[in-house]
Amino acid sequence: MFRLIPIMLILTLPGCFLAPGMDMNNDNGMTEIELPTNRDGQLVKEKVRIVPITADLIIERETNRRQVINNLPPVDPNKTSYRIGPQDRLQITVWEHPELNDPGGEKIMPELAGKVVDENGDLYYPYVGSIHVAGKTVSEARADLTRELSKYFKKVKLDIRVLSFQAHRVAVVGEVVRPGVQTMNETPLTVAEAITRAGGSTKDSDFANVALARDGKLYKLDVQSMYEKGLTTQNLLLKDGDVLNVGDQKDSKVFVMGEANRQQAIQINKGRMSLSQALAEASGVDFNTSRPGDIYVIRAGDMHPEIFQLDAESPDAMILADQFPLQAHDTLFIGTAGVTQWSRVLNQILPGSFTAIMSQAAMMGM
């Protein structure tokens, strides 16, 4: 009988003994966890609501996801044509007035031909002097120069073309074959074209995680949907100064912990993985030790953590799990049954004697 005293003492221990470092609070469905802050690196307590995974939650999350994907910078139809800028080299040909054209004609070296737009966006031309051409299309610059030359010549006919495009550039970095800077020409440069110019994607690229940095803002693009579903809204027109970053899928993993048959890190394929897929990859839950009603998805986020709970004992649980998308760095935690928790604690406190004690208790009819 005295051997059963340790068991009775353990049964009277508070629940927090089993979960050091986490303060569980059931008030209003809130749980309190400790997280590091960005300010001083100290641990602070932040309340996080445990949200049940329901059909309404999945619909709400999908609506929010589409809003994020469609929250893209507007396209200015007036700026789809190439605009002349500083360092562009222009070739100007005035018909029937060879003295106004490049000396040497066709014999001049291409890199020395034409006239360069200066840093102020101005171009010097005989008789006209300096004329501002930056920000104008070729057609607009031709009309302006024709008007100015008409003050000195009759029936002016001229042509302008860009010999060297240097004014507008974008950077394509990340998981592409040839990352670097690309110059823009008269053909509008789209996301797909920029990736193609960079040699295409590498084997580790994640097209569902492409970021566009523009004017101090960051936009998320789902290029995978563009290729697979024809979602052309993701094929944005790029502009000068844009930085396009193709993500690395090796950084897109979810982590399975707790009472799964296989605890592991699972690679997200092409940016998509549902809760049911993750459970299948982990060979399901261990029904001998788990509590199917306590399957959690823990999402750290940007210092705004979220916790979602799936009740796998519900008849529609697997349908909900198949429709609930996971994100990179999610942690899937499968809860432990109460009997399993206590048996593990007793095994740690009473190593080697727990089995004998439980056998003796069974013999005494307890």
Look-up of token digits 């353990």? 10
Instruction: Give the integer Cα–Cα distance in Å for 351 and 338.
Output: 19
Rounded to the nearest 10 degrees, the angle between the axes of helix 338-349 and helix 354-363 is 120
Question: What separation, in Å, do the N-terminal and C-terminal C-alpha atoms of the chain show?
Answer: 11
Report the amino acid identity of residue 221: L
Closest CA to 222 of 61, 70, 62: 70
Question: What is this structure's pTM?
Answer: 0.68
Helix (H) or strand (E) holding 62: helix 55-70
Closest CA to 80 of 220, 187, 202: 187
- Per-residue pLDDT in tens (0 to 9) along the chain, 366 residues: 444 444 443 444 433 333 333 444 555 445 555 555 454 556 666 677 888 999 999 998 888 877 766 677 776 666 678 899 999 999 888 888 877 776 645 555 655 678 899 999 999 998 989 999 999 999 999 999 999 999 998 888 999 999 889 999 999 999 999 999 999 998 889 999 999 999 999 988 888 889 999 999 999 888 888 888 887 888 889 999 999 999 888 888 899 988 888 888 898 887 788 999 998 888 888 777 778 888 899 888 766 788 899 988 888 888 999 999 998 889 999 888 654 554 555 455 555 544 555 555 555 554
Instruction: Give the integer Cα–Cα distance in Å for 292 and 312.
Output: 5
Closest CA to 255 of 288, 293, 318, 299: 299
Instruction: Give the integer Cα–Cα distance in Å for 340 and 175.
Output: 45
Instruction: Give the integer Cα–Cα distance in Å for 159 and 141.
Output: 10
Helix (H, G, I), strand (E, B) or coil at 124: strand
Report the amino acid identity of residue 25: N
Instruction: Give the integer Cα–Cα distance in Å for 48 and 38.
Output: 18
